[in-house]
Each structure stands twice: as C-alpha cells, then as structure tokens.
C-alpha cells in the first residue's frame, strides 16, 4: 500500500491536470507536507496512508493551534486541504474511508475589531511624517477603499471633473464608483499636479524610486504614527476602512448606501461588521422610551 508521500504526489499531479493555479497547488503541497512531516516524526517511519487515524489528525490540529499558535482560520484551511487529500485517496480506493469526515472544523471566535473615532483618525494623520503616506492614509480614511484598491489606482481612475474615484476590479472582480469629499479632492489634485514624481508608471500614488507604494510601507508608517499619537488600539490600513464605515453608520447614513460605498453586495455585512454600539448609546436609546 502507498505511503502518504506517494499519494501526495499523485494528488498534486491531479490538481495540475484539472488546471488548479500554481499558487493553490503550492499551498496544498506545503500543507500536506507539513502533516506528513508530523506523522513521520510521530511514528519514526513513513506511514502508509491506510494506517493514519482520526487521532493522528486531531493531534496535528492540536500541534498547529495550541503549540505553534496558528490562528483558527489557518488551521481550518489545513483541515480543508487534508479533507480533499483523503477524499481523493478514498475515491481511488487507496483507503476505505475518508477519516476527515470525522474531523470538525474549529469554531471561529468572534473578534471585536478595532475602529477609530473621527478625532483619533485626525490624530493618526497628524502624526504621519511622510507626505505621500499621509495622503494615502487620508484617502483610505475618507473613501473606505481597501489598501489594495487604493494602491492600484491609476491616474485615469481619479476623475476630478466628477469628483469620483473609479475602483477597477475590486474584491470579487467588481467595479464601483466612490465619491471624494471636497477637501480630499483638492489634496489629491495638488499631489497629482505638483508633487507626484515623474515616473514611467501610471500608478496614481508613486514613489520616485519604485513608481509604486507597498502595503507594508503604509502599514509600517501607520504603526509608527499610532505609537506617536498614543492610540492604544491595533491600527492597520484596514482599520481605516472599518472606521470610515462605522462613522457613516453613526452619522445615520443608511446601511445599503454604506454597503455600496464599500463594495459589499449585501448590506447585512455592514450590520455584522461595522455597526458598533457603546453601552452609553444603548442606554440613551432605551431612555427615549416613555412609560
């Protein structure tokens, strides 16, 4: 009977044959190889696939989550990959039964996402020293763009005549229009006309040396500014999008409008992710009722 390693090679060959992307195949390979390495070390010998038990898989899950500290989402991806791997082996009659059917995905804990108040956004922007990064952060904060959408903007995507930003192929491959407020529009126009370096790329935001800007650079500057502003929250580029939506909701903008600005197909996503109610707001709400 074939070992795990032999079945792995056959499975990856099948993935290539059905035209899975190279990045997907590489992920499958790494995740399955990690499991095989764990099994080989546990038994000190290459194990035949038919001899792997549910207990082996559960021990590996424990190793990833509780020993190595992997996040629940990452562990669940491994579980999904192993499920496909064992399902393939069962279909090929290498094993009698897909043991992964007896392994549950880990339950995801609800995480309270940090968001910034309007004052905190202002403080953050004030403490960013690099002018271009400061402008990018302002753009994120006042449009709700994802960082990838922002940095992928081309010169032709920013229409100053209409006061609109055209997002081309945002998340899910969808295009959308996002309006600019007057203050942001004036700053972006000044940057384009007087500050943007002469580079060969058509990226709207560009550094002279590279003709582009990396997400890592923006997040690094945000982290530094967060410390300087003494904001005790975990702030990243995505926090600004989160804060944009939360502020609009608090100001009474209806949820379908906020969802459209963010590029969410379903406004219920806005309800579950971006609507925050403080205890004081809840108390004020019920105190409006008279008996």
Determine which one of 238, 250, 260, 276 is catalytic. 238
Instruction: Judge whether 238 counts as a catalytic residue.
Output: yes
Average pLDDT score over residue span 130-155 = 95
Instruction: Judge whether 26 counts as a catalytic residue.
Output: no
Determine which one of 171, 174, 220, 268 is catalytic. 171
Determine which one of 146, 191, 196, 242 is catalytic. 146
Q: Is 145 exposed, middle or buried (0-12, 13-18, 19+ CB in 10 A)?
A: buried
Lowest mean pLDDT among 34-38, 238-242, 262-266, 274-278: 274-278
User: What is the rounded distance in angstroms from the CA atom of residue 101 to the CA atom of residue 203?
Assistant: 48
Domain covering 4-102 in this structure, CATH number: 1.10.150.130
Convert the pLDDT of each residue in 186-232 to its tens digit. 999 999 999 999 999 999 999 999 999 999 999 999 999 999 999 99
What residues does CATH 1.10.150.130 cover in the chain? 4-102
The alpha-carbon radius of gyration of the chain (Å, integer) is 25
What residues does CATH 1.10.443.10 cover in the chain? 118-285
User: What is the rounded distance in angstroms from the CA atom of residue 71 to the CA atom of residue 73?
Assistant: 6
Instruction: Judge whether 196 counts as a catalytic residue.
Output: no
Determine which one of 127, 196, 242, 264 is catalytic. 264
Percent of the chain residues past pLDDT 90, beyond the cut: 63
What fold characterizes domain 118-285?
Answer: hpI Integrase; Chain A (1.10.443)
User: What is the rounded distance in angstroms from the CA atom of residue 150 to the CA atom of residue 249?
Assistant: 22
Comparing 68 with 172, the larger pLDDT belongs to 68
Convert the pLDDT of each residue in 239-252 to its tens digit. 998 899 888 888 88
Instruction: Judge whether 176 counts as a catalytic residue.
Output: no
């Amino acid at each position: 009977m074939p070992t795990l390693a032999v079945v792995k090679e056959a499975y990856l060959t099948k993935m290539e044959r059905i035209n899975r992307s190279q990045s997907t195949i590489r992920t499958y390979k790494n995740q399955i190889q990690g499991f095989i390495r764990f099994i080989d070390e546990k038994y000190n010998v290459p194990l035949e696939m038919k001899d792997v038990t549910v207990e082996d898989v559960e021990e590996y899950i424990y190793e990833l989550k509780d020993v190595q500290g992997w996040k629940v989402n990452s562990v669940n991806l491994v579980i999904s990959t192993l499920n496909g791997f064992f399902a393939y082996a069962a279909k090929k009659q290498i094993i009698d039964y897909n043991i992964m059917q007896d392994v549950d995905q880990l339950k995801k804990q609800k995480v309270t996402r940090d968001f910034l108040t309007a004052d905190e956004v202002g403080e953050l922007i004030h403490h960013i020293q690099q002018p271009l990064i400061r402008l990018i952060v302002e753009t994120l904060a006042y449009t709700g763009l994802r960082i990838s959408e922002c940095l992928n903007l081309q010169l032709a995507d920013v229409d100053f005549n209409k006061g609109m930003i055209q997002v081309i192929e945002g998340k899910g491959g969808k295009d959308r229009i996002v309006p600019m407020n007057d203050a942001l529009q004036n700053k972006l126009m000044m940057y384009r006309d007087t500050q943007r370096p002469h580079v060969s790329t058509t990226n709207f935001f560009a550094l002279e040396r590279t003709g582009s800007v990396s997400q890592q650079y923006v997040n690094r500057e945000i982290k530094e500014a967060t410390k300087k502003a003494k904001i005790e929250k975990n702030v990243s580029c995505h926090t600004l999008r989160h804060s944009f939506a939360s502020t609009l909701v608090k100001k009474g903008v209806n949820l379908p409008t906020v969802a459209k600005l963010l590029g969410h197909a379903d406004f219920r996503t806005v309800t579950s992710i971006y609507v925050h109610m403080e205890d004081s707001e809840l108390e004020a709400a019920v105190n409006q009722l008279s008996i």
